[in-house]
């Protein structure tokens, strides 16, 4: 049996029917999704670029640190050679050039009498070196300045901290083939070395970033490494 609806009943049911009426509201969905995915890809790309740049900066800084560290280590070796030249006792003229080939650069002994300085240990008599208690420092007044074209740019401060007597097997080892009594002590030095990159400007015949400014102070634009080394010399 067919059911008939009055107009009044139809009008009451119309709002519910409209709920299920297909809506034509998805026309811009693809565009919105495309823009959303583009923004995500752009964010990922920017993050990847930033990460790559950061890693390159870290690698570059690590390389510079290694190079300046090698410079400081070279300063210690050159300073040790200077000490051995006078067997740990003797002096030079102030500002004397120790370099064997001045055309390639200089190894300047700024303080010619640094080997005659008194013990620079703290507390006095302890044989221990304390950078904060030094009469002079490598930053303020280095004993040796090393400037070799394209190779070295280093300053070194050499401090005598102790003289230790050898006994027994130690004395025999020190004497070696020269016999007992040749050398019965060792002189202990502390070497404070700072170095920077030796990059050379051939056009202007100078270092690209000098270790020191014209007034003698440390160049704040120069990357630095510092090496502090103990060195013992047994006079013959």
Residues in the chain predicted with pLDDT less than 50, given as ranges, are: 17, 19-20, 169, 171, 174, 178, 180-181
Between the alpha carbon of residue 121 and those of residues 6, 36, 163, 168, 189, the distances in Å are 113, 69, 11, 26, 10
Pure H helices in the chain: 7-19, 29-85, 169-175
Instruction: Give the position of tokens 């700024």.
Output: 110
Asked whether 198 and 154 are in contact (CB, 8 A), the reply is no
Nearest to 160 by CA among 71, 232, 64, 78: 232
pLDDT in tens, 165-216: 776 545 455 455 545 445 577 889 999 999 999 989 989 999 999 999 999 9
Looking at residue 20, what is its pLDDT?
Answer: 47
Phi, psi of 132 (to 5 degrees): -75, -10
Asked whether 139 and 194 are in contact (CB, 8 A), the reply is yes
CA distance 225 to 65: 7
Q: Which residues contact 189 (CB under 8 A, 6 or more apart)?
A: 83, 88, 158, 159, 160, 161, 230, 231, 232, 233
**DSSP conformational letter for 32:** H
Two tokens at 124? 């006095």
């Amino acid at each position: 049996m067919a059911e008939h609806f009055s107009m009044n009943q139809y009008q009451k049911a119309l709002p519910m029917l409209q709920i299920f009426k297909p809506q034509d509201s998805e026309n811009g969905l693809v565009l919105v999704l495309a823009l959303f995915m583009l923004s995500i890809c752009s964010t990922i790309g920017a993050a990847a670029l930033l990460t790559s740049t950061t890693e390159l900066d870290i690698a570059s800084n690590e390389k510079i640190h290694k190079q300046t560290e090698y410079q400081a280590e070279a300063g210690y070796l050159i300073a040790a050679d200077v000490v051995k030249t006078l067997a740990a006792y003797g002096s030079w003229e102030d500002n004397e050039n120790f370099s064997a080939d001045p055309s390639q650069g200089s190894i300047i002994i700024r303080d010619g009498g640094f080997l005659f300085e008194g013990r620079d240990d703290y507390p006095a008599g302890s044989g221990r070196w304390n950078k904060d208690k030094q009469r002079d420092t490598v930053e303020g007044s280095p004993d040796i300045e090393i400037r070799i074209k394209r190779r070295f740019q280093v300053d070194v401060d050499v401090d005598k901290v102790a003289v230790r007597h050898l006994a027994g097997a130690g004395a025999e080892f020190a004497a070696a083939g020269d016999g007992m009594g040749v050398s019965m002590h060792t002189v202990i030095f502390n070497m404070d070395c700072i170095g920077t990159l030796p990059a050379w400007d051939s056009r202007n015949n100078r270092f690209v970033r000098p270790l020191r400014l014209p007034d003698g102070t440390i160049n704040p634009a120069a990357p630095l490494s510092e090496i502090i080394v103990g060195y013992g010399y047994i006079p013959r």
